[in-house]
């Protein structure tokens, strides 16, 4: 009873002294962020499930780090992202050890093929990082470059807390709901920017300002729609689509899923990432062959509604017409030799050839983490050096064939297992979410040939969530099946025992009439 009061008194005595010491050295906003961050960090470690919500919202939606540069510096934001990751990891391990003492953490993790693949992949990353640091005698600049290089990849470790914390049907459904909320925030941001492009806030929560400086000839409608969060929308679209076409028709459910799925599709089309649209179209055709009744008619109905809705919005909203025209120009300009897109394609061909040359020199172990491999491309403003647009070449160049294969095993095993197990899941929403995760990862698998999403800060946490969610749903179904088998075996055992007792009663010899009299 007295412990919280004593803690409050100690904090009241210590915090003013601490703040008085820090304020002369740092800005007030930094001090305020520090004071507020202490209880927030404790909460994340104490309740890792809510920490997952915070870090995914923080990194992949309108709450993206760019928005918080009003308060603290960008480096502080990146450091806090890493701190959140490790707090969530530690909190999830403590959670599992407390609530599942009969099953060890090691046993839970290594029941899945993704865990083995993630371990191998990170072993390659750590070994190469340590090798570079030893060769450089642990110079501070080397450690800093290793941190910057591996920062995005580290967030694949979010696979572990998703697998450990989501240990019940209620929590799994909660995570699917979280996904829909974050997708709605992202979609709402895109549509708000569409209808109210004059708001100055968009220069801080999207990439329009740097893009406008680098490529002033690009249409402003295109510039404003380069925003984080597209992977969350993609996941929501596929989960909603699977819920529509796999489950029986129900007006109350369709009243939510059809508008929501169409809005998600609209948000992705407005961002017009070419690498998403093509694999999505192919997968929509493949869904017609799923083994469910009336799938083709449902799919055609949804697509017809989508076409009609886009046509109405195009006619009614002048802004929508502008964005459609900008999208047509963007897609069509790739065929023009003088367009920015054609120059970008030329630059990507140059970087691809250069990467293949580097791979041919060191195909097994890669070229090393500290070497530039993208050459300067003449007459191009997008002259970056730290990444390749083809994610697979990027992993191969840096981590060799072992790192590439282990990473593909992480994604590929989740896709294969989602397709194999989705029919066995008893909960309709979790079944749709499982197949939705598989289709989203398949879309990303195709898209990453031309878009570096597998090491993008806004994408990697969502990919880790999907990989963990696939295995968490499958493990929940296995546990439910085992519990059902145990209940059935107990019922059979008790039934057999009752039947045996009844048979024994029948088999006893009946008492003769004179026996009682003689007694």
In a domain, residue 278? The reply is yes
267-280 as b/e, with b when 16 or more CB fall inside 10 Å? bbbbbbbebbbebb
The alpha carbon of 144 is separated from its chain's Cα centroid by a whole number of angstroms, namely 26
Phi-psi domain of 428 (left: phi exceeds 0; alpha: psi -120 through 50; beta: other) = alpha
Q: At what angle do helices 169-195 and 318-332 cross, to 10 degrees?
A: 100
Handedness of CA 432, 59, 70, 190 (dihedral sign): negative
Query: Could you tell me if residue 496 is inside a domain?
Result: no
The angle at the Cα of 374, spanning 370 to 379, to the nearest 5 degrees, equals: 145
Q: Which two tokens stand for residue 117?
A: 């693949």
Q: Is residue 124 part of a domain?
A: yes
Contact 234, 466 (CB under 8 A): no
- N-term to C-term CA, the chain: 72
pLDDT of residue 288: 76
Long-range contacts (CB closer than 8 Å, 24 or more residues apart) made by 335-342: 340/215, 340/217, 340/218
Alpha-carbon torsion angle 59, 278, 306, 62, nearest 10: 10
Half-sphere exposure of 80 (CA within 13 A, CB side): 24
What span, in angstroms and rounded, lies between the C-alpha atoms of 307 and 262?
Answer: 10
DSSP 390: S
Q: How far apart are CA 311 and CA 477, in angstroms?
A: 42
Could you tell me if residue 509 is left (phi over 0), alpha (psi between -120 and 50 degrees) or otherwise beta? beta
Inside any domain, residue 476: yes
pLDDT at 259: 83
Contact 240, 250 (CB under 8 A): no
Calpha distance 453→457 (Å, rounded) = 8
The count of domains in the chain is 1
What is the Cβ-side half-sphere exposure of residue 190, based on CA atoms within 13 angstroms? 27
The answer as to whether 177 is a domain residue is: yes
How far is Cα 274 from Cα 447, in angstroms, rounded to an integer? Answer: 8
- The tens place of each residue's pLDDT in the chain, 519 residues long, gives 455 556 666 665 565 555 555 555 555 556 666 666 677 777 888 889 988 988 888 887 655 555 555 555 666 777 778 888 888 999 999 999 888 888 888 888 888 888 888 888 888 888 887 777 777 777 776 777 677 667 788 899 999 999 999 989 999 999 999 999 888 888 877 777 767 766 666 655 554 444 444 444 555 555 555 555 678 888 999 998 888 888 877 777 778 888 888 888 877 776 655 577 778 888 888 887 776 777 777 778 777 877 787 777 667 766 666 666 666 665 555 444 444 455 566 667 777 777 888 788 778 877 766 555 555 655 554 444 567 788 898 888 888 898 899 999 999 999 999 989 988 898 989 999 999 999 999 999 988 888 788 888 888 999 999 999 999 999 999 888 887 666 666 666 566 667 666 666 666 665 555 555 444
- The whole-number pLDDT of residue 224 equals 57
337 within domain boundaries: yes
Given this model, what pLDDT does residue 503 score?
A: 65
Q: What residue ranges in 104-203 does DSSP mark as E strands? A: none
> What own/partner pairs with CB < 8 Å and gap ≥ 24 does 372-376 have?
373/397, 375/350, 375/351
Nearest-angstrom CA–CA distance, 462 and 298 = 28
Domain of 265, in residue numbers: 104-483
Q: Is 422 contained in some domain? A: yes
* Distance in angstroms (rounded) separating the CA atoms of residues 16 and 10: 11
| Phi, psi dihedrals of residue 328, rounded to the nearest 5° | -65, -45
Per 3-state DSSP, the chain is made up of helix, strand and coil in percentages (nearest 5) of 80, 0, 20
**pTM > 0.85: yes or no:** no
Which tokens in the block code for residue 186? Answer: 């992202």
- Residue 364, pLDDT score: 82
Cβ–Cβ under 8 Å, residues 91 and 50? no
CA angle 223, 224, 225 (to 5 degrees): 95
Does some domain include residue 59? Answer: no
């Amino acid at each position: 009873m007295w412990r919280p009061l004593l803690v409050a008194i100690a904090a009241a005595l210590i915090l003013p002294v601490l703040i008085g010491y820090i304020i002369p050295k740092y800005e007030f906003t930094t001090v305020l962020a520090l004071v507020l961050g202490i209880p927030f960090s404790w909460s994340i470690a104490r309740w890792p499930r809510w920490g997952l919500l915070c870090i995914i919202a923080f990194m992949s939606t309108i709450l993206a780090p760019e928005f918080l540069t009003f308060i603290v510096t960008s480096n502080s934001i990146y450091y806090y992202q890493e701190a959140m990751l490790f707090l969530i990891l530690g909190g999830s391990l403590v959670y599992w050890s407390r609530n599942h003492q009969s099953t060890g953490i090691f046993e839970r993790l290594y029941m899945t093929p993704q865990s083995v693949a993630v371990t191998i992949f990170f072993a390659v990353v750590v070994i190469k990082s340590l090798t570079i640091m030893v060769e450089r005698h642990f110079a501070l600049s080397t450690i800093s470059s290793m941190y910057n290089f591996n920062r995005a990849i580290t967030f694949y470790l979010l696979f572990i807390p998703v697998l450990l914390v989501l240990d019940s049907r209620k929590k799994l459904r909660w995570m699917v709901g979280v996904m829909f909320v974050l997708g709605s925030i992202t979609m709402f941001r895109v549509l708000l920017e569409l209808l109210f492009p004059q708001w100055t806030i968009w220069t801080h929560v999207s990439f329009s300002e740097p893009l406008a400086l680098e490529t002033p000839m690009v249409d402003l409608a295109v510039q404003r729609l380069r925003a984080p969060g597209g992977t969350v929308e993609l996941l929501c679209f596929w989960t909603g689509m699977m819920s529509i076409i796999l489950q029986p028709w129900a007006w109350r459910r369709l009243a939510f899923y059809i508008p929501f799925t169409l809005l998600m599709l609209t948000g992705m089309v407005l961002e017009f990432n070419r690498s998403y649209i093509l694999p999505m179209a192919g997968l929509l055709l493949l869904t017609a062959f799923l083994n469910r009744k009336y799938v083709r008619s449902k799919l055609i109905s949804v697509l017809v509604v989508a076409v009609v809705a886009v046509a109405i919005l195009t006619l009614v909203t002048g802004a929508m017409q502008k964005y459609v025209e900008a999208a047509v120009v963007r897609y069509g300009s790739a065929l023009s030799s003088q367009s920015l897109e054609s120059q970008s394609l030329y630059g990507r061909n140059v970087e691809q050839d250069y990467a293949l040359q580097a791979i041919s020199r060191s195909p097994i172990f890669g070229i090393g983490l500290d070497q530039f491999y993208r050459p300067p491309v003449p007459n191009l403003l997008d002259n970056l050096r730290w990444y390749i647009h083809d994610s697979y070449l990027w992993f191969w160049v840096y981590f060799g064939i072992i790192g590439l294969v282990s990473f593909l095993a992480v994604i590929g095993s989740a896709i294969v297992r989602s397709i194999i197990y989705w029919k066995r899941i008893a909960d309709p929403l979790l079944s749709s979410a499982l197949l939705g995760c598989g289709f989203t990862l398949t879309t990303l698998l195709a898209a990453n040939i031309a878009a570096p999403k597998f090491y993008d800060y806004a994408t990697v946490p969502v990919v880790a969530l999907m990989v963990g969610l696939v295995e968490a749903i499958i493990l929940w179904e296995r546990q439910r099946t085992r519990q059902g088998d145990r209940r059935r075996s107990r019922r059979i055992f008790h039934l057999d025992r009752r039947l045996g007792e009844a048979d024994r009663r029948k088999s006893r010899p009946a008492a003769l009439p004179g026996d009682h009299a003689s007694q």
